[in-house]
Structure 1
Amino acid sequence: MRGADLINLALPDELLDDVLRRVGVGSDGATSKRDLDACALVCRRWHRLERASRRRAKLAASGARADEVVRLVAERFPALVDVSVDERLTVGNAASGAGGASCARASRSRSRRSAQSSTPFRRRRRLPHITGLAFQTSPFPLDQPAGDDGTERNCLTDVGLAHLARGCRRLEKLSLIWCSAITSTGLVSIAENCKNLTSLDLQACYIGDQGLIAVGEGCKLLNYLNLRFVEGTTDEGLIGLVKNCGKSLVSLAIATCVWLTDASLHAVGSHCPNLETLSLESDRIQNQGIISVAKGCRLLKTLKLQCMGAGDEALDAIGSFCLLLEILSLNNFERFTDRSLSSIAKGCKNLTDLILNDCQLLTDRSLEFVARSCKKLARVKINGCQSMDTAALEHIGRWCPGLLELSLIYCPRIQNSAFLEIGRGCSLLMSLYLVDCSRISDDALCHIAQGCKNLTELSIRRGYEIGDKALISIAENCKSLRELTLQFCEKVSDVGVMAIAESCSSLRKLNLCGCQLITDSGLTAIARGCPDLVSLDISVLRVIGDMALAEIGEGCPKLKDIALSHCPAVTNVGLSHLVRGCQQLESCQMVYCKQVSSAGVATVVSSCSKLKKLLVEEWKVSERTQRRAGSILTFLCTGL
């Protein structure tokens, strides 16, 4: 600092530490790593205090020295309470979430360390300054284990997890995603040292029973547990865990744990009276397991089920005992009938969210039961329930005035008349998603537009009967529209798009992929009428050319994401105009643009300093561009 250092002289460590804890904290409680990194660079004192007060870290777990990296993190940031370790992360991905500047330094330091390989080990083992908590990855494949020749395993192991456990004893949240080398031994270290642990995510880790039992014995405050794809666990492990810490457990997720049976769910029902959220995907679970949970976990508010062996008896129990249920998701059930939802409707009056995926035996009567009894219903998603007809949606329109979100995916029997009731009765509707609903045409959307004037998000995919008439009605009535998707709506032309541009100036996301009647004129109208646009997809628009890109570059300075793949008329000239004005661009997709060359790719890379992802053909990338921006380049896979 120049001049008098008034802050450091006036503020003691305790007050400065409190200030650093509040830096960059958003409304969701998350802290900006960039702001913290900036504070750490002010002076040595701020650097020391910032290290001592850092609360969150997201680490890339792949790399030949992953254990060493985790050890250094635990030593330098002892106050960490929230740590996420993801073996799928690369340097580039870690940079976006944990300090890009640090990743750049790590990349530069890597080449320097290679050149200094003859220096003593004590100096070579030093890693770059860990400000953003983003680390380099190994050049070896992620699934390569330690070899017989002594080759070091290229991912986080129990050794690194033990370092974390001993160095960060105040740990409250730990997420281990796809950490393939972690075993029960590492989890025992966490259980013995981190007594304040409240959240544990073990997605796709091969953890055995002893690790879960140890967590149950050592972490009595645990309230969130994710066991999705944890294949090494049997009934013994989960039963041992819930017997010891089941009373504190609030959320439990289980998916494809092939050795878990109804015995585990019986233990959950017996020992987890405060459970509020249960997500369960299993082919081995039968009715009795779900009935045990329903009887023992009467505070359930969220229930997501995909259990091929369960039937109506299971949901009968849910409707009878779980009277506080708010969110219900039923997926791929072949044995559930209308009887199931009738039971839910009778008992679960607080239901707000209903998701039905591929429940083939459910008919219109199911939604009638729910609509008449569950007056708080706000979000409905129906996917692939082919036995449901127009009447199902009419019941929702008549009996659910508080509906906010409606999603219909592959519902070929629902016709336009259903949306007349939705438009009349659901004036608060804000989001509408229609995918592969072949009988829905302009009339349906006109009903929605005239009745649901608060619509902010409209997504239509493969709406082959949707055209300009619908868009004109949306533009006239829904002035607050912010997100619009019209993928492969082949009847939409410049006329409809111009109406949207003229009336919906607050539009932020627009997807026109496959709307082949749209020309430069339509996109020019969008560029001039929607200056707040941040996301634009104009892929597969074969007549779009450089004029449209020039207008977008001039009129949409806030644009962050653009997709213009399969646009044969776009050239390097159009790209240069686009990037000159869109300096905020972070993501760009432009494969199969045959008139774009390596010079155009280089122009995008050199002009967009904030670019994080560029999808392009590999042969269009020059060696210089590869050296300059290798971490953000994603190549089209053409060898499949």
Structure 2
Amino acid sequence: MSFTGKKKKENSPVSPLKKRRASWSELWLNHHHSLSSSPSLDFASKLQSFTPPISKSKTLLSSPDLTLLLPDLTLLAIINKVPLPHRKTLSLVCKRWLRLHGGLVRSVKVSDWGSLTSGRVVSRFPNLDEVDLVSGCLVSQLSSGVLVSHRVVSSFAVGVGSYQSLSFFEENLLSVETVDRGLRTLASGCSNLRKLVVVNSSELGLLSVAEACSRLQELELHKCSDTVLLGVGAFENLQILRLVGSVDGLYDDNNNSLVSDIGLMILAQGCKRLVKLELVGCRGGFNGIKEIGECCQMLEELTVCDHKMESGWLGGLGYCENLKTLRLVSCRNIDFDPCLDECLSCCSCPALERLHLEKCQLRDKNSVKALFKMCEAAREIVFKDCWGLDNDIFGLAMAFGRVKLLCVEGCSLLTTTGLETVILQWHELEHLKVVSCKNVKDSEISPLLSALFSDLVELQWRPDTRSHLFSSLAGAGVGGKGAKFFKKT
């Protein structure tokens, strides 16, 4: 049997299909598709290379943490924009945010002394500027439920029954050795410290801080004595100093817890860059204040609170040639020296600008007269809640010849006549504030006093709740600070 046509080879392999050549339209579409998808592929590959693998068992989020791509400086700038009350919440995000948040904190109040001695405070906040250790220096008993506060120190917890003792604060203080160990730990980790508040330390603990923290500019020292001031004198760059010696109800009134002339002399020889000095419950006298004035020539502000100064200490103020502000707070007396007026006849503070008296006893006419004579160059006079400020005592204020601002607040013995007699003699008076002086009446305002009111730049007149002058002048522009109607030209 014969067949016609081509005969198929049985053992020959199957030939592969020929690849068809792509058209120009297909080539154009493939090219643009590759261009549009390549950036996302490159970003994904970079993100995968920078981001470490995250275990799904440790987080609820399957997406990577994009903040890991940000450097510390950028993330710090972002955290710094968050308001202060909410920054503490950010520190709970992760360990990195906790570390960055700690670097932004500049001020802390230590309440747990163990966190300081263990080094946790220093490691947690490496860039501290201000540290308050007063609450931490107390043996706190939070379970007692008794919280005590004082005008000198902040509130603290004490044991039940201990608050009945007059020395309950001192009974709950840590020992001097324990406080010194904490100061050494703080000094070793905070070399940039600018402000320190501490209680019941010794001169050795302060010396360790002075050696390590050369930039310290502000120091507040509670339960201070002459011996402790040996360490304070080592702070060569100190500018602001607050010394708390003996305080009723807090520290015992004995020679070991008081600052005397000896301590003030030690202080003057060491801290010659002082600008502000506050003495609370301290002793001292003419020699100590004189030494401060001669050695600390940059001193501009002196505050004396609840002082136990010796007679004649006011005479030392004459050596404070650059003193601009003198504040007397809660002083039961000014000076007991009966011959003080004769000693101050040719002595005063030439640069003094402000005299502030708050909660002081002004019943001794001789001492008040001597004080006013010493501060006769003052331009700003403030009487706040002072006892004994009647017309006779206030009449001594005519010694001030160039007063521009007068504030009388909470002085119930002063009358309208006594106020008018003095302020009409002050031809440069521009600001007047009379608040809570019940014997100053609107009905007793004379035409001369009314004319003076119209020339003032600032008037605050609220002597009692029945006063209608302030409300009646409100619409006229009088009493507004810097009122354009009464500016002198």
Q: TM-score, with normalisation over the residues of structure 2?
A: 0.63
Kindly indicate whether the alpha-carbon contact (under 8 Å) linking 1:336 and 1:359 is maintained by their aligned counterparts in 2. Answer: no
Distance 1:17 1:317 in 2: 60
- Choose between structure 1 and 2 for higher RCO, CA contacts under 8 A separated by at least 6 residues: 2
Q: 1:200 maps to what in 2? A: 219
Q: 1:14 maps to what in 2? A: 73
In the alignment, structure 1 residue 234 sits paired with structure 2 residue 260: yes
Distance 1:389 1:139 in 2: 48
In the alignment, structure 1 residue 393 sits paired with structure 2 residue 419: yes
Equivalent pairs, count:
377
CA-to-aligned-CA distance 1:497-524 (integer Å, 9 cap, x gap): xxxxxxxxxxxxxxxxxxxxxxxxxxxx
In the alignment, structure 1 residue 308 sits paired with structure 2 residue 338: no
Look up the equivalent residue of 1:58 and give its one-letter code. Answer: K
CA-to-aligned-CA distance 1:160-191 (integer Å, 9 cap, x gap): 23222222221111123xx3x43333323322
Distance 1:396 1:57 in 2: 48
1:357 pairs with 381, 386, 390, which one?
386
Q: 1:460 maps to what in 2? A: none
Q: 1:209 maps to what in 2? A: 226
CA-to-aligned-CA distance 1:85-110 (integer Å, 9 cap, x gap): 23378879xxxxxxxxxxxxxxxxxx
Q: 1:322 maps to what in 2? A: 350
In the alignment, structure 1 residue 72 sits paired with structure 2 residue 120: yes
Gaps of 5+ in 1: 25-31, 93-134, 435-439, 458-640
Look up the equivalent residue of 1:164 and give its one-letter code. Answer: L
Shift in Å at residue 450 of structure 1? 1.8
2:277 pairs with 235, 245, 252, which one?
252
Q: 2:269 maps to what in 1? A: 243
In the alignment, structure 1 residue 299 sits paired with structure 2 residue 315: no
Distance 1:7 1:326 in 2: 54
Distance 1:367 1:452 in 2: 29
SS at match of 2:109: strand
Gaps of 5+ in 2: 1-58, 144-154, 163-167, 247-256, 481-489
SS at match of 1:347: coil
Q: 2:89 maps to what in 1? A: 38
Alignment of 1:74-473 (within 5 A): 74-87=122-135, 143=169, 157-176=179-198, 179=199, 181-202=200-221, 205-217=222-234, 219-230=235-246, 231-246=257-272, 248-258=273-283, 260-280=284-304, 281-287=306-312, 289-304=313-328, 306=331, 307-309=334-336, 311-312=340-341, 320-329=348-357, 331-333=360-362, 334-336=364-366, 339-340=369-370, 343=373, 347-348=377-378, 350-351=379-380, 353-355=382-384, 357-359=386-388, 362-368=392-398, 370=400, 373-374=402-403, 376-381=404-409, 383=411, 386=413, 388-395=414-421, 402-403=430-431, 405-409=433-437, 412=439, 416-418=443-445, 425-426=452-453, 431=460, 434=463, 442=466, 445-452=467-474
- Larger mean CA deviation between 221-230 and 233-242 belongs to 233-242
Shift in Å at residue 368 of structure 1? 4.7
Shift in Å at residue 249 of structure 1? 0.4
SS at match of 2:468: helix
SS at match of 2:127: coil
Shift in Å at residue 326 of structure 1? 2.1
SS at match of 2:128: coil
Shift in Å at residue 221 of structure 1? 1.2
Distance 1:57 1:238 in 2: 30
Distance 1:421 1:162 in 2: 65
Distance change (3 Å), C-alpha of 1:367 and 1:138: closer
SS at match of 2:233: helix
Look up the equivalent residue of 2:281 and give its one-letter code. Answer: T
SS at match of 2:208: helix
Q: 2:99 maps to what in 1? A: 48
Shift in Å at residue 344 of structure 1? 6.3
Distance 1:327 1:382 in 2: 17
Shift in Å at residue 335 of structure 1? 4.0
Distance change (3 Å), C-alpha of 1:20 and 1:273: farther
Distance change (3 Å), C-alpha of 1:341 and 1:395: farther
The structure whose Rg is larger is 2
Look up the equivalent residue of 2:271 and give its one-letter code. Answer: C
Q: 1:616 maps to what in 2? A: none
Distance 1:237 1:390 in 2: 45
SS at match of 1:201: strand
Distance 1:76 1:208 in 2: 33
Distance 2:435 2:444 in 1: 17
Shift in Å at residue 211 of structure 1? 2.7
SS at match of 2:430: coil
CA-to-aligned-CA distance 1:209-241 (integer Å, 9 cap, x gap): 343222212x21111111133534333333212
Distance change (3 Å), C-alpha of 1:277 and 1:359: farther
Kindly indicate whether the alpha-carbon contact (under 8 Å) linking 2:116 and 2:186 is maintained by their aligned counterparts in 1. Answer: no
Kindly indicate whether the alpha-carbon contact (under 8 Å) linking 1:199 and 1:224 is maintained by their aligned counterparts in 2. Answer: yes
Look up the equivalent residue of 1:175 and give its one-letter code. Answer: V
Shift in Å at residue 196 of structure 1? 1.2
Distance 2:296 2:245 in 1: 21
SS at match of 1:158: helix
> RMSD across aligned C-alpha pairs, in angstroms?
4.3
Shift in Å at residue 47 of structure 1? 1.1
